[in-house]
Chains A and B, each alone.
Chain A
């Protein structure tokens, strides 16, 4: 339990750092983007919104830095992330619409990729030396391909050329969003290519990591024991795999960060209405409140996912429950 407590406090600290970085960045950059922001804001939105944004970001530059900082936190706890300069809506509402798409896409892709990768990695490790090994260079190649490039290629191959999958959007234009089967089916159909792209790019990492761990595990005595006791092969592989998967789970935290990065780009390529496109537009339009809001939400979500992954590891490895982390 102590171990989890330490991880939790780490995440709290990280969240604090992220929020503070968010606060400090615009103030540290040369060219004072803050003044620019205010200059832009007055033109596009109402004065009340400007005031709200000013308060949200402690933009009252007459106050000292610390007072601004406190004001910033004050606004955050009220859920006020400011107002988007370009979309004329509150950042929270804009995010509220986009985040579920991203979370859905990344969640499904990560889980699929992890399961597929560790499963195939276990088999690759066990049957080492067989013809299966030729998969490894292929997997290595896909791992090196940037996510978005793979996205572009799949759009070309599967969409434009072969017309197997739809390539733009999250659901068909002709369907009305709602919780009925028609919508869900459309969701699934449109989601295939983005998910496939992300899975293809990330599965190699899991596969190779798991394979290497399996090979290391198989050299351990307890696997020989499992064979010596006459257990069926399936059970023996499980003995090794249960141990080999532990580092992969530990790496899940890191991987989530990478997948998020890549997924944002994939959303761009496929015009998926998630956070990725939003972020990019915000950056290009210098919509700082939106940028800050997105960064914050992404970071907090990743931290939450990391925590979940840590709990998962805690459950899987009984040794962590007894000894304090060294």
Chain B
């Protein structure tokens, strides 16, 4: 059942692309269920980039796959909702439509997929069918969604898309194994933009690449976004990649969002101990050398849920309360940034590293690279 909400241009609803509320995902069922994503609420606005950062096992990939109903068995969406809003050409100028992704039928999902929300997987080699030429993939996707296009038009469009990412038309005739990693990833991006979607989800798209190529690709993405204005969800474990790209960042740990803030604020003034740890463990490309500090310990086993805050065993600033009670994600100040940490409750004295102000003297981390 699709919710047909026609919204007025300019309204707040009009600005939303994806809204996730109280979303929880389990692997397995009943007593054997393991919670991978716990009560996450996030939203993505038009033309904005949301970065989702965390270690492996934090649930960041599980979240986005589940939201788009692409999560494999035995994943189950335990609770929550996710609504996608997009332009509806049939409803008149400026009209938008909202679809409840949890209630949509298979055919509705098929219609929205790729035309409104597309995804770039981590390893392009595995994501492209090894026995088909690249051109076939483009042709199939375009044909499935744009029945009015002729074969020639489809090919032209494919060539256009490749040009966007800096590849020649001759690549269409190749097989995936004949191309380099960087080329394959660019093709994935070109494919993701084929139908001009409103939202592009990137699942660690550069993890399998070398550092130089990584940054090339990030730059390309930034340019494409500036040109076409799509929204993006960028998942990564490497915070430094989000510097140029993200508008807002959500930090996830053990299935929960522990902090959410505009990117600049997050780098300059982290409020959650885990975020602080992440920032301290990434070396800056410029600036002075400094000592790298990791985070002691390892993420909890999701099948053995710990009581209280999931980070309490590794936290440098742990309170007694942290062992017993789970902190909720609360808005911290008028900027709208949120954090889930008992340190920021009334009456608690916040440790120095977690109450920096913008402009404070910080050890040369991301501050040097964040544009004002």
Contact = CB atoms under 8 A, between A and B. Distances in A.
Interface stretch (B21-29, B121-129, B254-262): B121-129
B140 interface: yes
Nearest to A219: B72
Contacts of A222: 126-130
B155 interface: no
- Interface range on chain B (Cβ under 8 Å from partner): 20 to 34
B70 A322 contact: no
A227 interface: yes
A33 to B, nearest CB: 51
Interface string B105-138: 0000111111100110101001111111000000
A227 B70 contact: yes
Contact of B144 (A232, A246, A317): A232
B68 interface: yes
A225 B121 contact: yes
Interface stretch (A40-48, A118-126, A156-164, A235-243): A235-243
Nearest to B70: A228
Contacts of A317: 131
Nearest to B201: A228
A319 interface: yes
Nearest to B123: A221
A243 B140 CA distance: 17
A228 B131 contact: no
B141 interface: yes
A242 B132 contact: yes
B143 to A, nearest CB: 9
Contacts of B144: 229-232, 235
Contacts of B344: none
A273 B130 CA distance: 45
Contacts of B119: 228
- The residue in A221, A229, A242 that gathers the most chain B C-beta atoms within 10 A of its C-beta is A229
A235 B144 CA distance: 10
Given A235-B144, A318-B175, A319-B175, A228 B113 contact: yes
A322 B177 contact: yes
Given A224-B121, A230-B141, A318-B175, 6 more contacts: A220-B126, A221-B121, A228-B68, A243-B129, A243-B131, A318-B177
30 contacts: A220-B126, A221-B126, A222-B126, A222-B130, A224-B70, A224-B127, A225-B128, A227-B113, A228-B113, A228-B114, A228-B119, A229-B113, A229-B118, A229-B140, A229-B144, A229-B191, A230-B110, A230-B111, A230-B114, A230-B141, A230-B144, A230-B145, A239-B129, A239-B132, A242-B131, A242-B132, A243-B131, A318-B131, A318-B175, A319-B131
Interface of A: 219-222, 224-232, 235, 239, 242-243, 246, 316-319, 322
